[in-house]
């Protein structure tokens, strides 16, 4: 069965998943990387980026299934890059060099059209201008029965979450206070939307919460 999922998505103790003022030097906003530090050291992170080594253990074991059976990704414009407004040219090709770690079609939500961007490793970015719901329909078609992973950022996840279109979430709660930035759950009543916490797992550098729509 195909699921729409969020996986290995990091938030601070106070609920922020990204810091403010994203730019080239701060891809997740100022201090945003601190919430994601647990993941960067794992074996699965190293592997999907073509590197060797990395840590095993609970953090790695919980993160690994989020990269299995994924047939398409969806992300917001800000996750693709810090460029704002109309595309001045096609020089920005993402944060990931020529072989991004997705290896599937990736649907990027944007208000500004751009031709598809084919890269190495089976990665093709499609820039969707007619909203999150047509993007999800296209992603499901492209996934061909596999899961669709909502990569982020915060506003993209909130779009699908408030519409009850996410089936499962794996949140990694990092032991850090960010104090400002993009808050994942502000104003969202998860219980009223039918989401329930299923399991909590203590990792080495984060606490993992598994949530599912019931």
Tens digit of each residue's pLDDT (9 = 90 or more) over 163-176:
999 999 999 999 99
Q: What percent of the chain has pLDDT over 90?
A: 94
CATH number of the CATH domain containing 24: 3.40.430.10
pLDDT, tens only, 54-104:
999 999 999 999 999 999 999 999 999 998 999 988 899 999 989 999 999
Residue 129, domain extent:
9-84+99-213
Q: Give 92's contacts (C-beta < 8 A, 6+ positions apart).
A: 81, 83
Average pLDDT over residues 37-55: 95
Predicted confidence (pLDDT) at residue 200 exceeds the cutoff of 90:
yes
pLDDT computed for residue 57 by the predictor:
96
With beta carbons less than 8 A apart as the criterion, state whether 28 and 18 touch: yes
Alpha-carbon distance 105 to 135, whole Å?
A: 11
Has residue 1 been placed in a domain?
no
Domains held by the chain: number: 1
**DSSP labels for 11-65?**
EETTSEEE-SS-BTTBTTSTTGGGGGHHHHTBHHHHHHTT----B-SHHHHHHGG
The verdict on residue 91 lying in a domain is no
Task: Please indicate, yes or no, if residue 156 is contained in any of the structural domains.
Answer: yes
pLDDT of residue 191: 96
- The pLDDT of residue 46 is 96
Examine residue 162 and state whether it is found in any structural domain, yes or no.
yes
pLDDT band at 31 (very low <50, low <70, confident <90, very high): very high
> Is residue 155 situated within a structural domain?
yes
Domain assignment of residue 205, yes or no: yes
Query: What pLDDT was estimated at residue 2?
Result: 86
H/E stretch holding 172 reads strand 168-174
In a domain, 54, yes or no: yes
Q: Is the per-residue pLDDT at 178 higher than 90?
A: yes
Q: What is the mean pLDDT of residues 17-29?
A: 92
Residue bearing tokens 């599937």: 104
Q: For residue 195, is it within any domain?
A: yes
Q: Which pLDDT does position 1 carry in this prediction?
A: 72
The reported pTM is 0.95
């Amino acid at each position: 069965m195909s699921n729409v999922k969020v996986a290995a998505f990091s938030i601070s103790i106070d609920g922020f998943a990204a810091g403010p003022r994203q730019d080239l030097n701060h891809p997740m906003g100022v201090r945003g990387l601190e919430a994601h530090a647990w993941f960067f050291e794992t074996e699965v992170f190293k592997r999907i980026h073509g590197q060797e080594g990395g840590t095993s253990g609970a953090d790695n074991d919980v993160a690994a299934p989020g990269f299995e059976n994924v047939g398409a990704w969806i992300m917001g414009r800000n996750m693709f890059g810090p460029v704002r407004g109309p595309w001045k040219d096609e020089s920005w090709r993402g944060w990931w060099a020529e072989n991004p770690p997705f290896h599937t079609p990736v649907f990027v939500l944007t208000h500004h059209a751009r031709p598809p961007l084919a890269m190495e490793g089976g990665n093709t970015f499609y820039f969707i201008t007619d909203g999150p719901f047509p993007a999800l329909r296209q992603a499901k078609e492209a996934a061909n029965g596999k899961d669709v992973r909502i990569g982020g950022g915060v506003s993209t996840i909130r779009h699908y979450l408030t519409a009850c279109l996410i089936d499962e979430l794996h949140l990694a709660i990092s032991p850090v206070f960010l104090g400002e930035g993009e808050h994942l759950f502000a104003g969202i009543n998860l219980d009223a939307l039918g989401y329930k916490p299923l399991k909590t797992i203590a990792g080495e550098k984060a606490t993992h919460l598994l949530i599912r729509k019931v």
